[in-house]
Each structure stands twice: as structure tokens, then as C-alpha cells.
């Protein structure tokens, strides 16, 4: 029993500890992974955006569900921007690696704002949700401006 618990604990730790290099067999796997993660994020963020822009009616449950997904997804792409993953089919600018501290800061800002967005959406208050959405979208944009080529 104790052994089972220890094994489970070890597995769950492994699942959330992302040591970038060890995580991907090939650089192109890392590129695919981060694009997939960001694609899923954009899909759910887009559903929130539709509500903010009045293209879809505000639905508190949908806002909370989608914002929670965005906040979880926001944690994933960054481990896949390791050394040696700057080539191939990517729009990532060299600045991701040349100004890596700044890139990490941008990634952290997005994670922090999306966590606040999830909390605001969960509150059910439409105004708070909209404000938090706008703040989060700002972090998407500034990171894209600096680190993603058109």
C-alpha cells in the first residue's frame, strides 16, 4: 500500500515537472507540442473573446469553463521552447532564446493574468470577466509582438 502511494506520488510529480530537454525526443516534437498547446489555448480564448466582443451572449458557465482551460493550458508551451528548438516550422523569433529572461517574464505574465481571468470568470461577474480578459489579451499581444514573427 505504502509502495503504491509512493509510486503514485512519484508519477504525479513527474507529470508536472517539465525539464525541457528531457521532455522531447526531437526538436520538431517540441515545436509541434508548443504549437498544439497554443492552438488549443487560442480556441478557448477565442470563445471568451466572442463573449467580450458581443459576438456571443455572456454565459457565466461557459466563461468559467473556458477560462479555466486557458489558465491550465497557459502553463504548457514554455518547456517546449528549449535550446535547439529555434529551427524548422516555427514563427518563434530568435529573440525567444536571445532574450530568454524577457521571454520567460512574458510567459509568466500571461500565466498570471490568465489565472486572474479564471478567477474573475468563476465569480460570474461579467464586468470583472471582461476586464480580466482584456488584461490577458494584452499579455498575448505583447509577447506576440516581441517574440513571434508575422
Q: Which residues bind ligand ASC (CB under 6 A)?
A: 42, 45-46, 49, 137, 140-141
**Would you say 98 or 141 has its CB closer to ligand ASC?**
141
Q: How far is the CB of 87 from ligand ASC (least distance, A)?
A: 22
- Please choose, from the candidates 72, 77, 73, the residue with its C-alpha nearest in 3D space to the C-alpha of residue 40: 73
- Could you please report the per-residue DSSP string of 40-81? HHHHHHHHHHHHHTTSS---HHHHHHHHHHHHHHTTSGGGGS
Q: How far is the CB of 3 from ligand ASC (least distance, A)?
A: 45
Beta bridge partners of 148: 92
**Would you say 24 or 130 has its CB closer to ligand ASC?**
130
Q: How far is the CB of 115 from ligand ASC (least distance, A)?
A: 17
**Would you say 27 or 49 has its CB closer to ligand ASC?**
49
User: Distance between CA atoms of 48 and 25, rounded to whole angstroms?
Assistant: 34
Whether the CB-CB separation of 142 and 106 falls below 8 Å is answered with yes
Q: How far is the CB of 75 from ligand ASC (least distance, A)?
A: 17
**Would you say 12 or 149 has its CB closer to ligand ASC?**
149
Amino acid at each position: 500500500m505504502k509502495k503504491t502511494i509512493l509510486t503514485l506520488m512519484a508519477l504525479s510529480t513527474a507529470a508536472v515537472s517539465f525539464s525541457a530537454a528531457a521532455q522531447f525526443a526531437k526538436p520538431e516534437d517540441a515545436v509541434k507540442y508548443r504549437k498544439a498547446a497554443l492552438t488549443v489555448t487560442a480556441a478557448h480564448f477565442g470563445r471568451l473573446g466572442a463573449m467580450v466582443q458581443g459576438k456571443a451572449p455572456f454565459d457565466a458557465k461557459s466563461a468559467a469553463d473556458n477560462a479555466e482551460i486557458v489558465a491550465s493550458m497557459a502553463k504548457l508551451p514554455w518547456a517546449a521552447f528549449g535550446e535547439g528548438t529555434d529551427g524548422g516550422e516555427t514563427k518563434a523569433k530568435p529573440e525567444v532564446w536571445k532574450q530568454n529572461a524577457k521571454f520567460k517574464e512574458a510567459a509568466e505574465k500571461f500565466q498570471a493574468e490568465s489565472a486572474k481571468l479564471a478567477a474573475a470568470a468563476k465569480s460570474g461577474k461579467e464586468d470583472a470577466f471582461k476586464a480580466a480578459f482584456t488584461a490577458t489579451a494584452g499579455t498575448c499581444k505583447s509577447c506576440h509582438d516581441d517574440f513571434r514573427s508575422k
